[in-house]
Chain A
Amino acid sequence: MTRKSIFPFLAFLVVVGFLAVGLQRDPSLVPSPFIGKPAPAFSLPDLLDNSRTVRNGDFRGEVWIFNVWASWCAACRDEHPLFHQLAALNLVPIVGLNYKDKAADARAWLDALGNPYTVVVTDESGDTGVDYGVYGVPETFVVDREGIVRLKHIGPLNAHSMQSEIIPLVKSLLL
């Protein structure tokens, strides 16, 4: 190889390097600024008992899972059986955030598909969703005993992410 022809080749390698990294990333996954930070505060009515107010502070000292869902969200239906499985393990409280939904629709949805949640809070305005940076329902957060967000999963969980991400993390936080 002559000296002159090495420069286009080097430039080519640089481009290949950038593409090799860049093309394997999913641009729809926005890095979450919440990991390692305290879970944003909320104080919302219980979906099944409107007279009761639930706060994030109620779970202080516990590891808990926060799942954002809505009856209008098709992917929430897909991941719903996984929450039944998780609830059956009886590891941690599963808190549902019913996001921008009508209470009657949400209750009907739970009646039809079963209710794996320890408690479901309603966020009709979507303000709590905004505080949690929600942009792609369903989303799932894992919060530790100190109230720090340890994981944010955007989009529906599948059997693999439940078994390899959520459950091992929850178990390690419980130790």
Chain B
Amino acid sequence: MSKFPAFASLMLGLFMTVHSFALDAPKEFANPEQERLYGQVIRELRCLVCQNQNLADSNADLAQDLRRKSYEMIVSGKGYDEIIHFMVQRYGDFVLYRPRLKPATLILWFAPFAMLVLLVTVVVARTRSQKARHPVPLSHSEKLRVDKLLK
């Protein structure tokens, strides 16, 4: 029984970190589409103060302000691209958790695939070269000797 409060507070703690944005003033949307967009935007934008959290998870003052900004823009009818543009204009590409595809991010996007291709090539080449080394067949006398030893 004494374990229960500890367990409960642990669960509560986990629950609260995931839902810190629930501490904001309740937000009302004109339609479910806006609400879905709001959820998407605050999950994809990084909080600049606590850099490893997105806006949805962060309790920082700035994250609250940026959630409010996102909300205001959505309610006034702005779309996903406009909100992302607004944030990138002010905080740079760093604010995006999903980096955009452009020359500077080509390595970021394609290095994993390039490495996979490289790995597969190396493995295939090595297995082939091993297969290429055909074992020399045993001569008749050698075969007899093998049979004798195995008996």
Within 8 A of A (CB), among B29-52: 48-49, 51
CA distance A31 to B136 in the complex (A): 64
A27 touches B92 (CB 8 A): no
Total count of chain B residues near the partner, CB < 8 A: 14
Q: Enumerate chain A residues within 8 angstroms of B62, measured Cβ to Cβ.
A: 126, 135
Q: In the complex, which of the residues A28, A127, A135 contacts B91, with contact meaning CB atoms closer than 8 Å?
A: A135
Within 8 A of B (CB), among A132-148: 132-133, 135-136
B97 at the interface (CB under 8 A from A): no
A130 at the interface (CB under 8 A from B): yes
Q: Enumerate chain B residues within 8 angstroms of A27, measured Cβ to Cβ.
A: 51
| B141 CB to nearest A CB, Å | 36
A130 touches B90 (CB 8 A): yes
Q: Enumerate chain B residues within 8 angstroms of A30, measured Cβ to Cβ.
A: 48, 91-92, 94
Q: Enumerate chain A residues within 8 angstroms of B94, measured Cβ to Cβ.
A: 30-31
B65 at the interface (CB under 8 A from A): yes
A33 at the interface (CB under 8 A from B): yes
Q: Enumerate chain A residues within 8 angstroms of B69, measured Cβ to Cβ.
A: 127, 130
Within 8 A of B (CB), among A61-108: 100
A43 at the interface (CB under 8 A from B): no
Classify the secondary structure of A's interface with B.
loop
Within 8 A of A (CB), among B100-133: none
A131 at the interface (CB under 8 A from B): yes
CA distance A28 to B94 in the complex (A): 11
Query: Given the interface contacts A31-B94, A33-B89, A135-B91, does A130 sit within 8 Å of B65 by beta carbon?
Result: yes
| B95 CB to nearest A CB, Å | 8
Q: In the complex, which of the residues B49, B66, B90, B92 contacts A31, with contact meaning CB atoms closer than 8 Å?
A: B92
B146 at the interface (CB under 8 A from A): no
A28 touches B51 (CB 8 A): yes
A32 at the interface (CB under 8 A from B): yes
Residue in A129, A130, A131, A136 with the greatest tally of chain B CB atoms within 10 Å: A130
Question: B residues near A, CB below 8 A?
Answer: 48-49, 51, 61-62, 65-66, 69, 88-92, 94
Q: Would you give 30 A-B contacts (Cβ < 8 Å), ordered by A?
A: A27-B51, A28-B51, A30-B48, A30-B91, A30-B92, A30-B94, A32-B92, A33-B88, A33-B89, A33-B90, A33-B91, A33-B92, A100-B61, A126-B62, A126-B65, A129-B65, A130-B65, A130-B66, A130-B69, A130-B90, A131-B90, A132-B90, A133-B90, A133-B91, A135-B48, A135-B49, A135-B62, A135-B91, A136-B48, A136-B49
